[in-house]
Amino acid sequence: MAKQYHFSLGNSTKGPIGFCALIKAESKADAVSLLKKVLPDELEVRPMGGDKENASVVYIAVYFNDEAIKVRCIDEEEEVIG
Contact 64, 18 (CB under 8 A): no
Contact 61, 44 (CB under 8 A): yes
Amino acid 74: pLDDT: 97
Amino acid 59: pLDDT: 93
Residue range 31-67, pLDDT digits in tens:
999 999 999 999 999 888 888 888 899 999 999 999 9
Residue 58, φ and ψ in degrees, nearest 5: -75, -50
The candidate with the shortest Cα–Cα distance to 20, out of 60, 59, 64, is 64
CA atoms within 13 A of residue 12's CA, in its CB half-sphere: 4
Amino acid letter, 2: A
pTM of the model: 0.85
